[in-house]
């Protein structure tokens, strides 16, 4: 069966929102003379509720933190750094090549619709996508396959007709559970995490053609 669509994860795959989030958290931990374990942080990448850094930090410090003040400061700094970031290398070129070849494109993200649509609009790529599948449209987010199955439903395609592009183990587990070929492009935060077997890993999309992607099917 021929390739008819690419389904992208968003955070860490199209736009690296994860490095700013992680580094700002690291800075907060260091302010309290603590260390944020990358392995613990990795449990929460691509999903929701798997790791609570506030609870973790408070347990390590041994006291409650002024969360309301710190959350505002934290969020402001994270958004500032994300706004200064560009799309990850090769993503836009692959989207353009795919559209020119007549493929459909979708995003399946554990983040909210507003988050995904706002950032893709700011980078001028929202119009490239035929469908978005986001957090509040499903009962369970990744590693559950529901988001990817919803994206396939919106595209009116079968699992064998698509390839999923992901950056996190949770996302890759969801892709495999949906029965879709999955390519992992780990970023600076996820590159040292353990990915499931059956995933095709590449270092970057920079210089990668649609033909090279299709050959992974």
Q: Which residues are catalytic?
A: 9, 11
Q: How far is CA 113 from CA 6, 16, 21, 34, 207, in A?
A: 19, 17, 19, 34, 29
CA distance 61 to 171: 31
163 and 140 in contact (C-beta within 8 Å)?
Answer: no
Phi, psi of 173 (to 5 degrees): -60, -40
The tokens for 69 are 């003040």
The pairing of beta strand 162-166 with beta strand 104-108: unpaired
Q: Report CA dihedral (156, 157, 162, 168) to the nearest 10 degrees.
A: 60
Q: Where are the alpha helices (DSSP H) in the chain?
A: 18-31, 38-43, 53-61, 67-83, 91-100, 113-122, 146-155, 169-177, 210-214
Locus of tokens 């949770």: 170
């Amino acid at each position: 069966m021929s390739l008819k669509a690419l389904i992208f994860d968003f955070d860490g795959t199209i736009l690296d929102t994860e490095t700013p989030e992680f580094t700002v958290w690291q800075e907060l931990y260091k302010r309290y003379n603590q260390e944020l374990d990358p392995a613990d942080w990795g449990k929460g990448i691509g999903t929701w509720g798997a790791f609570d850094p506030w609870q973790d930090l408070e347990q390590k410090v041994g006291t409650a933190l002024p969360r309301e003040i710190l959350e505002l400061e934290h969020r402001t700094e994270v958004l500032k750094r994300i706004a200064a970031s560009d799309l990850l290398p090769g993503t836009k070129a692959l989207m353009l090549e795919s559209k020119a070849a007549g493929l459909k494109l979708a995003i399946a993200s554990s983040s909210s619709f507003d988050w995904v649509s706002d950032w893709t609009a700011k980078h001028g790529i929202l119009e490239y996508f035929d469908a978005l599948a986001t957090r509040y449209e499903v009962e369970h987010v990744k590693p559950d396959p529901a988001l990817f199955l919803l994206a396939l439903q919106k595209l009116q395609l079968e699992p064998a007709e698509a390839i999923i592009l992901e950056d996190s183990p949770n996302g890759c587990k969801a892709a495999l559970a949906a029965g879709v070929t999955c390519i992992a492009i780990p970023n600076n935060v996820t590159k040292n995490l353990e990915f499931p077997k059956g995933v095709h890993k590449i270092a970057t999309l920079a210089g990668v053609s649609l033909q090279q992607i299709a050959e992974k099917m």
